[in-house]
């Protein structure tokens, strides 16, 4: 189910921009670019699991009833492995680092890269995704002090919003940077770019040249 939801969301925000006349139809080509590989991997995994579960060979039957339950119980008791399995099953571990919509100039020093899903963390006990509910682009600036949000160019205000988040120790640990930085999230909350510079020009370049926003206006 999670795979279907992510497939739908990946395509929906791109179709919305094209149907509203905000971007060229070529944006839709990135759907296959980003999701086709995952679909192939999922089918291969499903086929292997089905063969294991339904296979009639004596050896597979022996593994199912005598070996796997014991090993699985031990493995699932390890937090790091349980976390990896959760990311695999929930599909949130999928990234689009090789997508043409992921711009890597500026993310070299970061643990998190363009094309990764926005990491989950809490801000004063609140889920960071509470800020990211609207189906639009989100420019997120991480600052050491409380500053006002970056002011977007009015031409992008209907398509994007701007948020400022404190550069906490938790953020530093997750992203691997102790200095201020900004990132742009796509409507599906995958990172388009990360920058340690003022984001105005990079935002303009990304939306206009990478996504193609404004190309049909």
| pLDDT tens readout for residues 192-213 | 999 999 888 999 999 999 999 8
The mean predicted confidence, pLDDT, of the chain is 83
- Angle, alpha carbons 101-93-1 (nearest 5°): 100
- The answer to whether residues 160 and 153 touch, using CB atoms and an 8 Å cutoff, is no
Average pLDDT over residues 107-132: 93
Helix (H, G, I), strand (E, B) or coil at 98: coil
- The answer to whether residues 177 and 109 touch, using CB atoms and an 8 Å cutoff, is yes
Eight-state DSSP code of residue 66: I
Model pLDDT, residue 6: 87
Domains of the chain by residue range: 2-90, 122-211
Distance from C-alpha of 181 to C-alpha of 194, rounded to nearest angstrom = 7
In angstroms, the first-to-last Cα distance of the chain is 37
Model pLDDT, residue 155: 84
Residue 141 phi/psi, 5-degree rounding, is -110, 130
Average pLDDT over residues 164-175: 94
Contacts of 193 (CB under 8 A, 6+ apart): 102, 103, 104, 105, 106, 107, 114, 183, 184, 202, 206
Bridge partner list, 165: 142
- In this prediction, what percent of the chain has a pLDDT beyond 70? 73
Model pTM above 0.85: no
Model pLDDT, residue 31: 95
Distance from C-alpha of 94 to C-alpha of 190, rounded to nearest angstrom = 10
E-state strands within the chain:
122-123, 126-127, 137-143, 160-166, 181-185, 191-195
Distance from C-alpha of 49 to C-alpha of 46, rounded to nearest angstrom = 5
Bridge partner list, 161: 138
Architecture of domain 122-211: 3-Layer(aba) Sandwich (3.40)
Q: pLDDT digit string (tens) for 57-84?
A: 766 566 667 666 777 666 666 676 556 5
């Amino acid at each position: 189910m999670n795979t279907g939801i992510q497939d739908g969301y990946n395509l929906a925000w791109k179709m919305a921009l094209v149907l509203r006349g905000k971007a060229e139809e070529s944006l839709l080509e990135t759907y296959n670019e980003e999701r086709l590989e995952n679909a192939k991997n999922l089918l291969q995994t499903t086929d292997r699991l089905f063969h294991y579960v339904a296979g009639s060979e004596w050896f597979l039957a022996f593994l199912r009833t005598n070996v796997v339950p014991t090993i699985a119980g031990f493995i699932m008791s390890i937090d790091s492995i349980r976390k990896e399995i959760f990311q695999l099953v929930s599909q949130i571990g999928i990234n689009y680092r090789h997508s043409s919509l992921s711009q890597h100039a500026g993310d070299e020093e970061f643990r998190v890269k363009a094309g990764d899903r926005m990491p989950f963390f809490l801000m004063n006990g609140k889920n960071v995704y509470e800020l990211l509910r609207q189906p639009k682009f989100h420019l997120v600036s991480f600052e050491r002090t409380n500053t006002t949000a970056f002011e977007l160019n009015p031409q992008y205000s209907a398509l994007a919003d701007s948020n400022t988040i404190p550069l906490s120790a938790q953020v530093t640990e997750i992203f691997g940077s102790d200095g201020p930085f900004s990132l742009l999230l796509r409507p599906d909350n995958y990172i388009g770019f990360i920058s340690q510079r003022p984001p105005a020009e990079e935002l303009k370049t990304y939306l206009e040249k990478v996504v193609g926003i404004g190309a049909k206006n």
